[in-house]
């Protein structure tokens, strides 16, 4: 009896520490015994013999076998093309500061007002079964279930995006994914894209910095990236960017640590989020906005709608707006997180979205992806239903779920028979014609390198870049070096890599090298190579190496 009590106490303690590992045990603890009689999907009770042994029985008549077998082989749906792997949770958003002078959206209408949210965090390239601690940007998607329907911010953990011409989306995705011949991720494809489209280097400097591997989702920031057009009750327009800063602090993993964790726990970030919430340690983020007036937009030195750029914080400081808290884990991952369908086109009155071309492309792409992945009625899946408002559309039928299929209401518009009618916004106006041109300068990338990264961070950035570039062909290495040199002259040291057939060994050696304290982060890294490797490598390598200096 004492042993039993002891084991129960240990089990209770384990649930407290490790809700992921103990989920099924906790289920048993909260139930009195089997939860009911097993049935087929059609609800018929299953007899013991049918469910336990097929020996000497007729399988075609075994409804348990037929039902479970035919369902199992249809269990998989297409994974998201990008952002396939994720952790997610539920909670609420609370307004802490008044922004009604900027935006009339009802979710911002009063300080203290709470709106339910669903959040999903995801690496971009990593596939559904992949590794959470991979070097990659992270998706940061939040669905606000408002009284005016769902408002989704489908952002990243970087404040800028890769390119501003949406035609590049397909090519960018292909270059990041597996080589179609080898089925292996290919640094040549990655570096070819990055160096042919240098506007991508601003974001990729961050991806190759410490920020490229957040220490779990709770410790990463989020950014809406696009400059959203918003409107207040009087019809006045402003332009804002959303920032989410984790109240837990920003924390990242070093490359070596991330590689070690990858072997031990590929689901590191997903587990961390679930366990934190399961233990009552609810993560939260402070939400702020940067604000531009129409005059600011007209007078800006650069295109404020260019998603490859940030709005400088000294010119457009953060203004607090609210906070969101995640306090509930999904009860069923597939139903509640896999089936979540975010879309930048999910906007509410007062928030008009981004006027830029990438935003325009996204209004179409997510809907199309979800039609394919979840079916045409994806918004009728419970987790996507606007829970605070009644849906009234003229859409009917299609693949399930259809819910009540809008019952007996008229199914065409306009009609004379009291079907739903659109509302009228008297203050609606189109105020700005946005004309965007090519994105091009390296100013912000240089700014990031010089002013936002510490000396140590710069040094690690170079190590990480080298680690990836070592696998790329020499032409691409040289092209990358030229571009990085424009970003900062420090990076000129890189050119010494080019043309050495032993570069891979050099770089691998550097992975274990002690730190060096020379002026420039990059030169420090190069000097370290020299010190560490000069003794150990063969003559021809040493000659090659020395001619760099």
Query: Smallest distance from the beta carbon of 473 to ligand HEM, in angstroms?
Result: 28
Between residues 104 and 164, which has the closer beta carbon with respect to ligand HEM? 164
Query: Smallest distance from the beta carbon of 375 to ligand HEM, in angstroms?
Result: 12
Residue with structure tokens 């179609």?
Answer: 180
- 119 to 148, contacts with ligand HEM by CB under 6 A? 120, 122, 139, 141
- Binding flag, residue 117, ligand HEM (CB under 6 A): no
Between residues 172 and 529, which has the closer beta carbon with respect to ligand HEM? 172
Query: Smallest distance from the beta carbon of 360 to ligand HEM, in angstroms?
Result: 9
DSSP secondary structure string, 424-475? --TT---------------HHHHHIIIIIS-HHHHHHHHHHHHHHHTTS-HH
In this structure, the dihedral spanned by the alpha carbons of residues 305, 309, 312 and 315, taken in order and rounded to 10 degrees, is -30
Site size toward ligand HEM, by CB under 6 A: 28
Query: Smallest distance from the beta carbon of 44 to ligand HEM, in angstroms?
Result: 35
- Binding flag, residue 362, ligand HEM (CB under 6 A): yes
All residues at 6 or more sequence positions from 396 whose CB lies less than 8 Å from its CB, including other chains:
402, 405, 406, 411
Instruction: Enter the tokens of residue 443.
Output: 């100013």
Between residues 118 and 523, which has the closer beta carbon with respect to ligand HEM? 118
Query: Smallest distance from the beta carbon of 448 to ligand HEM, in angstroms?
Result: 18
Site string for ligand HEM, 315-354 (x = CB under 6 A): -------------------------xxx------------
Between residues 341 and 462, which has the closer beta carbon with respect to ligand HEM? 341
Between residues 134 and 370, which has the closer beta carbon with respect to ligand HEM? 370
Q: Is 366 annotated as a binding residue?
A: yes
The CA distance from 460 to 134, in Å, is 16
What is the crossing angle of helices 539-546 and 503-510, to 10°? 80
User: Which of 458, 435, 544, 542 lies closest to 500, judged by CA?
Assistant: 544
Task: Select the residue interacting with ligand HEM from 22, 62, 64, 83 (CB under 6 A).
Answer: 83
Using DSSP, state whether 204 is helix, strand or coil: helix
Query: Smallest distance from the beta carbon of 151 to ligand HEM, in angstroms?
Result: 14
Instruction: Enter the tokens of residue 184.
Output: 């292996």
- Binding flag, residue 376, ligand HEM (CB under 6 A): no
Query: Smallest distance from the beta carbon of 356 to ligand HEM, in angstroms?
Result: 9
Rounded to 5°, the CA angle 457-458-460 comes to: 65
The CA distance from 252 to 212, in Å, is 8
Task: Select the residue interacting with ligand HEM from 366, 449, 529, 545 (CB under 6 A).
Answer: 366
Alpha helices in 101-232 (DSSP H): 168-176, 187-196, 201-207
| CA 252 from centre of chain | 15
Task: Extract the annotated binding site for heme.
Answer: 366
Site residues (CB under 6 A) for ligand HEM?
80-83, 86, 120, 122, 139, 141, 154-156, 161, 166, 169, 225, 307, 340-342, 358, 361-362, 365-366, 369-370, 373
Residues annotated in a binding site: 366
């Amino acid at each position: 009896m004492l042993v039993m009590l002891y084991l129960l106490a240990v089990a209770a303690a384990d649930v407290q520490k490790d809700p992921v590992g103990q989920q099924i045990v906790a289920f048993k603890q909260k139930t009195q015994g089997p939860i009911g009689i097993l049935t087929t999907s059609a609800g018929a009770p299953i007899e013991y013999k049918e469910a336990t042994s097929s020996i000497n029985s007729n399988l075609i008549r075994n409804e348990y076998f037929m039902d479970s077998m035919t369902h199992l082989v249809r269990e998989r749906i297409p994974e998201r093309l990008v952002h396939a792997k994720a952790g997610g949770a539920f909670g609420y958003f609370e307004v802490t500061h008044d922004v009604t002078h900027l935006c009339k959206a009802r979710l911002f209408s009063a300080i203290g007002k709470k709106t339910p949210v669903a959040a999903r965090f995801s690496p971009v390239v990593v596939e559904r079964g992949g590794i959470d601690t991979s070097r990659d940007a992270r998706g940061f998607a939040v669905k606000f279930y408002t009284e005016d329907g769902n408002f989704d911010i489908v952002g990243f953990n970087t404040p800028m995006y890769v390119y501003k011409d949406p035609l590049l989306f397909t090519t960018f995705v292909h270059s990041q994914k597996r080589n179609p011949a080898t089925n292996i991720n290919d640094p040549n494809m990655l570096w070819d894209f990055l160096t042919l489209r240098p506007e991508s280097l601003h974001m990729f400097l961050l991806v190759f910095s410490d920020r490229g591997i957040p220490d779990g989702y709770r410790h990463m920031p989020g950014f809406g990236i696009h400059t959203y057009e918003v409107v207040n009750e009087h019809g006045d327009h402003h332009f804002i960017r959303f920032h989410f800063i984790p109240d837990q602090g920003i924390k990242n993993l070093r490359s070596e640590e991330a590689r070690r964790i990858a072997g031990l726990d590929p689901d590191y970030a997903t587990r961390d989020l679930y366990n934190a919430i399961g233990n009552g340690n609810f993560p939260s983020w402070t939400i702020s906005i940067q604000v531009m007036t129409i005059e600011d937009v007209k007078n800006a030195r650069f295109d404020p709608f260019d998603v490859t750029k940030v709005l400088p914080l000294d010119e457009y400081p953060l203004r607090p707006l609210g906070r969101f808290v995640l306090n509930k884990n999904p009860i069923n991952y597939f139903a509640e997180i896999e089936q979540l369908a975010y879309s930048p086109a999910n906007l509410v009155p007062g928030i008009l979205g981004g006027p830029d071309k990438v935003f325009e492309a996204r209004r179409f792409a997510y809907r199309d992806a979800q039609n394919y992945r979840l079916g045409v009625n994806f918004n009728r899946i419970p987790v996507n239903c606007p829970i605070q408002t009644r849906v009234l559309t003229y859409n009917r039928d299609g693949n399930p779920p259809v819910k009540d299929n809008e019952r007996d209401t008229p199914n065409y518009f306009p009609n004379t028979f009291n079907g739903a009618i659109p509302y009228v916004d008297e203050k609606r106006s189109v105020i700005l014609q946005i004309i965007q041109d090519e994105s091009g300068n390296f100013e912000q990338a240089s700014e990031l390198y010089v002013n936002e990264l510490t000396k140590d961070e710069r040094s690690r950035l170079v190590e990480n870049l080298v680690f990836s570039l070592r696998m790329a062909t020499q032409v691409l290495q040289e092209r990358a070096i030229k571009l990085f040199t424009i970003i900062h002259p420090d990076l000129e040291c890189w050119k010494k890599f080019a043309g050495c057939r032993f570069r891979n060994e050099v770089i691998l050696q550097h992975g274990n090298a002690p730190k060096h304290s020379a002026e420039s982060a990059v030169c420090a890294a190069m000097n370290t190579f020299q010190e560490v490797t000069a003794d150990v490598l063969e003559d021809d390598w040493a000659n090659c190496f020395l001619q760099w200096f």
